[in-house]
Amino acid sequence: MNSKLAPLEGKVAVVTGGSNGIGAATARLLANEGCKIVVCYNTGEARAQQLIAELPGADHRAIALSLADGASARILAERVRDAYGRADIVINSAGFTHPIAHGDLNALTDELFDAMLIANVRGPFSVIRALNPLLQESGDGVIVNVSSVSGTTGSGSSIAYCASKAALDTMTISLARVLGPKVRVMSVAPGAVATGFVAGRDRGVLEKLAQSTPLRRVVEPGDVARAIFAHTFLNLGGDKTIEARAPKAAVLMHRWFEEEIKRRRSDGQLGTDMMGALLKDRLLDDDGVRRTLGGMLVGSIDTTATAVAKIIAILGSDPKLRKQVYADRNDSTKLSMWCLEALRLWPHNPLVLRQASVDTVLSGTDVKAGDRVVAYTQAAMLDPDIFPEPELLKPDRPLSSYLHYGGGLHPCAGRAINDFQITTLVGRLLERGIEKTGRIVWAGPFPDKLIVHFSRKRA
């Protein structure tokens, strides 16, 4: 962990169910970003103690928590206040299920039904209720409830589990309304996750279940942790420390561009790169060159790297799709549409944050000037009214339906650059014969590494 770059330095995160699975992966990720971690466990004390000993940073703790006992949540809050004097993040990852065939109503006893509702709904509520005062004092508190696609699909380990996750989703919406703006409340809903959460569910079963999800692959705990981290990393709360880093970085970049442009002008060696081409063309003055290249560094490179990595990862996991896209590799228009379709399942930017400048109404909801509005572009691009059969990739859909680089009257200025770069890079990689890919290794919100296996050598 580099404390100078850790975006969550000094914050305290309470992770229920933190001793294994999604909770443990989230604890590791948040600790790596500077958080002090409270790992809450029920029966896994040894795992929890081992985990906090392995976490980067210092002053992590393991605290027992029973989701069935409201007093246990109150004791947790007291211990967190005594130890840290604050709590900024709560991850409700703990839960319970018992696999029961949906058609076997008699096997789903009252006791099992109650146990799942307590663990998956009442328990998280008790934790939130107990820690809410500390989160409110933080001024930028975050609560992430780990839900499941079962809450919306009605398909899962048992009917009671599906019902409990649907209830958790509804509770999340209600709490977000009443606890904001000082505390943000949201949920993540993973599908087939490779943990031991559901007894008797082996890898083969997970692979089969994954085919009904948009990505058509088994999700690892680290994938869910990244989704959770995205909620806490985004500066939706206007954290002043994070805001202060942006102008400092801008000053350094501005200075470098000015000095480099001046050096090239004085030497007469303008270079053969993009800066050199812009300086030679003289279509822009030196400040225009700086702003153009600065914009590419800030937005286009990250967008292109993220989009290409996600597209290649999707193609690497689906041989049938890969064959279809390979057939169109030399048709830039069709290949571009394939890229847009792949990104529809796994967008480079699944949500967009905006602030209303004037009072308005969106779908019957009053929005006041200054309100923050979150547009869930990924959900919109899975809307069957706009994308019939959204689970299928079809390169002949209307271009205007996609929201990857803005839409309507507000497209991103880098749309043409992104489309050219992404399509070109994907095409070149397809030419080498993609056989399979590994998993993307992430550096914060951006891809750091993706291992791709090819059938042909580079020309």
Could you tell me the two tokens for 315?
């193609």
Report the distance separating Cα 277 and Cα 269, nearest Å.
11
Distance CA 29, CA 302 (A): 21
Burial class (CB in 10 A: 0-12, 13-18, 19+), 104: exposed
In this structure, are residues 445 and 347 in contact, taking their beta carbons and an 8 Å threshold?
no
CA angle 57, 63, 66 (to 5 degrees): 145
From the list 74, 4, 91, 85, the residue with the least C-alpha distance to 39 is 91
338/330 Cα distance (integer angstroms)? 12
Tokens of 246: 């942006």
- Asked if 88 contacts 11 with a C-beta cutoff of 8 angstroms, the reply is yes
Closest CA to 429 of 325, 340, 287, 282: 325
CA distance 20 to 50: 11
What type of residue sits at position 78? Answer: E
Contact between 237 and 139 under an 8 Å Cβ cutoff? The reply is yes
Which is catalytic among the residues 41, 84, 161, 402?
Answer: 161
Report whether 95 contacts 17 (CB < 8 A).
yes
Which structure tokens are listed for 443?
A: 């550096």
Distance of CA 113 to the CA centre of its chain: 31
Instruction: Determine the length of the chain.
Output: 459
- Rounded to whole angstroms, the Cα distance separating 415 from 299 reads 11
Instruction: List the end-to-end C-alpha distance of the chain, in Å, as a whole number.
Output: 39
**Is residue 326 annotated as part of the catalytic site, yes or no?**
no
Specify whether the CB–CB gap between 231 and 142 falls below 8 A. yes
Cβ-contact 33, 229 below 8 angstroms: yes
Tokens of 407: 């839409």
Helix, coil or strand: residue 283: coil
Tell me which residue of 346, 310, 342 sits closest to 328, measured CA to CA.
342
* Residues designated catalytic: 161
